[in-house]
């Protein structure tokens, strides 16, 4: 696999770890002393929301700071328009993202109504912005050493 594809797969694994609230999978994507920063892009002026240091801390934030999925609920990240630059054993990636909230309807006790077809539930976009990780090749694998999340809307974290 070429370097650009390998770098893009790190982001693909990142969004899956977030959607699954998988701390271990998230931690594995970062170097031990990685830094993750979140910002709100307030009309082009970055407002810092949070900073986390260390792969384990970043991984734990996936489960600790994010609300659990409700029954029949899920989140689904999409990323697109990847701009990847590889320079030896370091790389940058800049990708747009949209997060969707999915809520499946509960099957009625008497079954679906006559004529019902297709997906039963709602899909709502809830978040968008840019993921801008910087990566380093470590023992042959790409790992994030600095991750910037630039959100298009304000975010309130627990306790704040």
Maximum alpha-carbon separation in the chain: 61
Q: Are 99 and 106 in contact (CB under 8 A)?
A: no
Q: Domain ranges in the chain? A: 3-151
* Tens place of pLDDT per residue across the chain (160 aa): 799 999 999 999 999 999 988 999 999 999 999 999 999 999 889 999 999 999 999 999 887 666 777 788 888 899 999 999 999 999 999 999 999 988 888 888 988 888 888 888 889 999 999 999 999 999 999 999 999 999 998 877 666 5
pLDDT digits (tens, 9 = 90+) for 124-138: 999 999 999 999 999
- Give the class (CATH, top level) of 3-151: alpha beta
Per-residue model confidence (pLDDT) at position 136: 98
For the four alpha carbons of 11, 17, 38 and 34, in that order, the dihedral sign comes to negative
Instruction: Assess contact for 10 and 25: CB atoms under 8 A.
Output: no
Structure tokens at 110: 């008497």
pLDDT of res. 63: 74
């Amino acid at each position: 696999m070429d370097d650009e594809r390998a770098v893009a797969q790190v982001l693909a694994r990142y969004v899956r770890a977030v959607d699954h609230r998988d701390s271990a999978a998230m931690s594995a994507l970062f170097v031990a002393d990685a830094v993750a920063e979140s910002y709100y892009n307030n009309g082009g002026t970055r407002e810092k929301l949070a900073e986390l240091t260390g792969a384990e801390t970043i991984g734990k934030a996936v489960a600790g700071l994010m609300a659990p999925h409700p029954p029949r609920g899920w989140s689904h990240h999409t990323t697109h328009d990847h701009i990847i630059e590889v320079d030896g054993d370091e790389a940058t990636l800049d990708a747009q993202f949209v997060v969707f909230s999915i809520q499946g309807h509960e099957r009625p006790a008497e079954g679906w109504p006559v004529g019902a077809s297709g997906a039963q539930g709602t899909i709502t976009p809830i978040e968008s912005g840019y993921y801008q990780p910087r990566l380093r090749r470590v023992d042959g694998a790409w790992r994030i050493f600095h991750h910037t999340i630039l959100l298009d809307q304000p975010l309130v974290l627990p306790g704040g």
